Structure 1
């Protein structure tokens, strides 16, 4: 086995090992980190597989270790991968389920709800400083349906979460 093949084998093993330990991190980031940590600047390794092939290999190995996708709405929400400060509300109406995700800071910024109820899964605001304007997400909602009643229960849930009652009502 040549030096290049040994180095490629070492990097590949390292990538697979790190990929199965860090299930929810980007495969590309793990690969880049492993390559940078194993090679000198401007050094090449012709035996190293393409990054896309390494990523496929890592994701294939991870697939068995990740939680299964839910098959219905009665699943237990594993909050171990979402911080307590971000997972805010799990609400339901009739046979539908909606999960509201927002941080306290995002909710604090959500002070005006003069929008109509539309089929959107997130609430944003615009922040302007000088000539620069940025769109900032305030709340994310995973909804199992697009009915008006679902939006009403989600928006009421968000209003309940607000630190001060700055939003008194919303257009329904």
Structure 2
């Protein structure tokens, strides 16, 4: 069932430093949700690593979104409220409006408390230049699971659990 690996990641959606209250709330959410664990589907992890390899030498910065474990068709063996990273949003979406009004319209409301970042030239740790979120998945070459890790906003490494599970089908409208 779950294949445990390590992961990196935390950026905020707007790229600005979070307010202390918001940062504390998000870190508390992460701690409560997984006791220092981050869950992601194998499909998402594989896709992110493939995209990172294709984008090299350009770095990537994507907003990640979860699906509650209870919404999956199969029992994941997790609390139904446990967030499982399943989707990403392109950072460019809504960028022109964001530049003018300072609002992130590329990410649906209530989504995006996690980010996927790449450091094509290293280092394999969060830096002061990174956009932070409650959880950050960070990848470096050679773009394999062993070079993917999860971090909290403070740069502390979290356990990344990769699940062999398909997210539920979403319907439009």
- TM bucket (normalised to shorter chain) is under 0.3
Bigger helix fraction: 1
Higher Rg of the two aligned structures = 1
Bigger strand fraction: 2
Q: Which has the higher contact order (CA 8 A, sep 6+)?
A: 2
Per the normalisation by structure 1, the TM-score is 0.22
Per the normalisation by structure 2, the TM-score is 0.22
